[in-house]
Copies of this chain bind each other. A is one copy, B any other.
Amino acid sequence: MIRTAGIISKPIRERICDVVPPLLQWLSARQIDVLFDEETRGCLGFGPEGMSRAALGAKIDLAIVLGGDGTLLSAARAIAVHDVPILPVNLGALGFLTSVTLDELYPLLEEILSGKCHTSVRMMLDAEVRSNGTSSGRKCALNDAVANKGALARMLDFDVYVNQDHIGRYRADGLIVATPTGSTAYSLAAGGPIVDPELDAFVVTPICPHMLTNRPIVIPGSARIDLDFAAAEEPVYVTLDGQTGFQLKAKDRVTITKSAKRVTLVRPNKAYFEILRSKLRWGER
């Protein structure tokens, strides 16, 4: 039962002013209250006061996210703890995650209200940094956790462990640990496989490995992955979903596990592979 919907949009004023008012009207005609995050409210210029995304997530039964994959990723991380279904609508180019077009928005909302919509539940990952054994923070990601070298550095030496077993010493620009959702993002660019979003698994993809036999590995979602940079002679940077990042301190270790949080995406009645085909142009010659 959808009583309150939250709207989170990429802050493009013209697009918001174009898309949001009719959406408000449509929802209001169906007795659905609408809330905004601060940025969207700021761009729109009217309506109920905006609130932080974290607060927003606690008060809504459906999040309508307008934008591209980047907008969805940051919205998902912010509200995932509340397990609110997300309807991701692309405002521009087709995304892997935001495959719903504006034309499909209202038909899909109808389906959602009638309880008939399709959803896809996506696992997230947690990356925890430990300094001398003490956790110095944990962050979650829908796509990937990436460790890499600085722009002017040459390469990193690091060790990877899966469930305490030593996978190997890598010499590479860095390493990507991706969820199935993230397998079509940066990991794909680095040579990783596409992983069906239903699979409970991680992809561990080295970035430009100097040892040519270091190939992407797919491991169970139940695994614990430890990255040890003690052998690295250069600063190491970690990013989540390519959006939030930080520099490790010497001797820091990064532990990656499946998150307790997850994301429920409302999706049009298109097969996953249909989106893949469109995005990667598999249908064409």
Contacts and interface: CB of A to CB of B under 8 A. Distances in A.
Contacts of A93: 285
Contacts of A281: 213, 281, 284
Contacts of A151: 148-151, 235, 237, 239, 245, 247
A283 B168 contact: yes
Chain B CB count within 10 A is highest, among A208, A216, A237, A277, for: A208
A212 B280 contact: yes
A245 B239 CA distance: 23
Copies in the complex: 4
A154 B176 CA distance: 13
A210 interface: yes
Interface stretch (A76-84, A122-130, A192-200, A258-266): A192-200
Contacts of A213: 212-213, 280-282
Contact of A193 (B152, B207, B217, B285): B217
Contacts of A245: 151-152
Interface in A235-273: 235, 237, 239, 242-243, 245, 247, 271-273
A7 B40 CA distance: 65
A149 B280 CA distance: 24
Contacts of A242: 154-155
A274 B163 CA distance: 13
B201 A199 contact: yes
A166 B217 contact: no
A245 B272 CA distance: 32
Interface of A: 93, 148-152, 154-155, 162, 165-169, 171-173, 183, 186, 188-196, 198-199, 201, 203, 207-220, 223, 235, 237, 239, 242-243, 245, 247, 271-274, 276-277, 280-285
The list of the 9 closest CB pairs from A to B, nearest first, reads A151-B237, A168-B282, A165-B271, A152-B245, A193-B216, A213-B280, A189-B208, A193-B193, A154-B242
